[in-house]
Amino acid sequence: MSAAVTAIRVNAHGGPEALAGETIPLPPPGPGEAQVRVQAAGVNFIDTYKRSGLYPVPPPFTPGEEGAGVVEALGEGVSGLAPGDAVVWLHSGSYAEALNVPAARLVKRPPGMDAAAAAALFLKGLTAGMLLNGIAQAQPGQSLLIHAAAGGMGSILTQWARHIGARVIGTAGSAEKAQAAKAHGADHVILYGEEDVAARVREITGGRGVDAVIDGVGAATFEASLDSLARRGWMISYGNASGVVPPFAPLELARRGSLRFTRPVLFDYIADEGDYRAAAQRLFAVVAEGALKPALGARYALADAAQAHRDLQGRRTQGSLVLVP
């Protein structure tokens, strides 16, 4: 028998106003699934891309790619979990009071990690691990340019990069955010609204440029990112916060010094359950060492999801945002 839960729904693509609370049925968990009570859902730019239609998900749907909560019921064939287990997950539809999640996507939370911290950390932390370790292969002494270093994603990237021993140059939109980025470990912070980012990077690095740029801003920073790289550097474009990067000629990579370019998606790196769980273990190990603390920003009621999207896209936030049912 289905239960009734409140969820945030997108019935037509659009702006934040497209997010509306509705009561929807929630059936019992099916084979291989667990039903979880949501204690906190992470708010991420990917949610805004799906809501707007940039990433084509046909309506109606419930947004939200990650959450943390408690197992309430198990479907047939599920082992290794029990009702009452505190878990975190990556699964669409997390802007809700409860949902059914494939058991293969549920990871038990480390002892002492509360739901809000887990929801603020999990997707961004797995993404940071992919970007730094899987792609950039960051090493002690390397120089990295991390855009929006005071944001939820940027703060995690900065902390983890510093833990590795890399030299971090961050960008920020205000003096207040620059101080926050430095508190997370950035060696230098460039105010991108007031300074020429590429020129400052060359000045800081003695003309060489950085080994990798990790850019989730997109269109507004793309040219400066390319111009900030050393020869054979990695241009890692992982987001579109300011808009989609326009088409460019591959010859531009050669002209700037045989640069390497990638546009990764986390879910391609963790599609296999073994890879997913290994990535989660690496993330939680860095947290356990005390090297990475989730920068939890504002908490919003589930009903205020539209305002959370406005604040995120308006760059009015620091740290990671969560919805609390």
**Within a domain: residue 132?**
no
pLDDT tier at 297 (50, 70, 90 boundaries)? confident
Instruction: Return the structure tokens found at 16.
Output: 């934040």
Please tell me whether residues 65 and 156 are part of one structural domain. Answer: no
pLDDT in tens, 182-213: 999 999 999 998 999 999 999 999 999 999 99
pLDDT greater than 70 at residue 121: yes
* 274 occurs within a structural domain: no
104 and 24 in a common domain: yes
Q: Do 76 and 178 lie in a common domain?
A: no
- Say what percent of the chain tops pLDDT 70: 100
Report yes or no on 135 lying in a domain.
no
Mean pLDDT of 110-139: 96
Confidence of residue 1 (pLDDT cuts 50, 70, 90): low
**Mean pLDDT within 166-185:** 96
Same domain, 75 and 176: no
- pLDDT at position 102 is 98
Indicate whether 194 belongs to any domain. Answer: yes
pLDDT value of residue 26: 97
Interval 5-32 mean pLDDT = 98
**Is 190 in the same domain as 233?**
yes
- One domain for residues 152 and 252: yes
Domain residues for 210?
140-263
- Check residue 294 and give its pLDDT: 79
pLDDT, mean over the chain: 96
pTM assigned to the model:
0.93
Report percent pLDDT > 90 for the chain.
94
Q: Is residue 133 part of a domain?
A: no
Q: Are residues 228 and 289 in the same domain?
A: no
Strands 210-215 and 229-237: parallel
Model pLDDT for residues 237-271, shown as the tens digit of each residue: 999 989 999 999 999 999 999 999 999 999 999 99
In this prediction, residue 167 has a pLDDT band, given cuts at 50, 70 and 90, of: very high
The span from the CA of 149 to the CA of 271, in Å, is 28
Question: Is 18 or 314 the better-scoring residue by pLDDT?
Answer: 18
If one counts the domains in the chain, the total is 2
Question: Does the pLDDT of residue 276 top 90, yes or no?
Answer: yes
State the CATH number of the domain containing residue 25. 3.90.180.10
In this structure, what token pair is assigned to residue 48? 């805004």
In a domain, 301, yes or no: yes
Does the structure show a pLDDT above 80 at 79?
A: yes
Query: Same domain for 230 and 292?
Result: no
| Total residue length of the chain | 325
Q: What is the pLDDT at residue 295?
A: 77
3-state SS, the chain, equals CCEEEEEEEECCCCCHHHEEEEEEEECCCCCCEEEEEEEEEEECHHHHHHHHCCCCCCCCECCCCEEEEEEEEECCCCCCCCCCCEEEEECCCCCECEEEEEHHHEEECCCCCCHHHHHHHHHHHHHHHHHHHHHCCCCCCCEEEECCCCEHHHHHHHHHHHHHCCEEEEEECCHHHHHHHHHCCCCEEEECCCCCHHHHHHHHCCCCCEEEEEECCCCCCHHHHHHCEEEEEEEEECCCCCCCCCCCCCHHHHHCCCCEEECCCHHHHCCCHHHHHHHHHHHHHHHHCCCCCCCEEEEEEHHHHHHHHHHHHCCCCCEEEEEEC
Task: Decide if pLDDT at 41 tops 70.
Answer: yes
189 lies in a domain? yes
Residue 130 included in any domain: no
